[in-house]
Chain A
Amino acid sequence: MAKVKGAVVVDTEQCKGCDLCVVACPSDVLSLSKEANAKGYNYSFMSSPDDCVGCAACAYVCPDACITVYKVKI
Chain B
Amino acid sequence: MNIIDSANLVYRKTPVMTDLTMHYCPGCSHGVVHKLVAEVIDEMDIQDKTIGIAPVGCAVFAYKYIDIDWQQAAHGRAPALATAVKRLLPDRYVFTYQGDGDLAAIGTAETIHACNRGENIVIIFINNGIYGMTGGQMAPTTLDGMKTATSPSGRSVPLNGYPLDMTKLLAELDGTCYVTRQSVHSLGAVRKTKKALRKAFENSMLEKGTSVIEVVSTCNSGWKMTPDESNKWMVENMFPKYPMGDLKDR
Interface residues of A (CB under 8 A from B): 5-7, 9, 13-14, 16-20, 23-24, 41, 54, 56-57, 59-72, 74
Contacts and interface: CB of A to CB of B under 8 A. Distances in A.
B190 interface: yes
A63 B31 contact: yes
Interface string B22-52: 1011111111100100000000000000000
B187 A57 contact: yes
Given A5-B3, A19-B228, A71-B3, A63 B24 contact: yes
**Interface range, B side:** 20 to 34
Contacts of B17: 65
A37 to B, nearest CB: 11
Contacts of B88: none
Nearest to B33: A63
Given A5-B3, A19-B227, A19-B228, A60 B26 contact: no
7 contacts: A7-B4, A19-B228, A20-B227, A56-B10, A63-B22, A65-B31, A65-B35
Contacts, number: 88
A14 B23 CA distance: 11
Contacts of A17: 26
A41 B26 contact: yes
Interface of B: 1, 3-5, 8-14, 17, 21-22, 24-32, 35, 184, 186-187, 190-191, 226-228, 231
A71 B8 contact: yes
A59 to B, nearest CB: 4
A63 B30 contact: yes
Nearest to A52: B3
B111 to A, nearest CB: 25
B27 A18 contact: yes
Contact of A61 (B8, B24, B26, B186): B186
Contacts of B28: 63
A23 B231 CA distance: 11
Nearest to A41: B26
A69 to B, nearest CB: 4
B187 A70 contact: no
Nearest to B24: A63
Contact of B22 (A7, A56, A64): A64
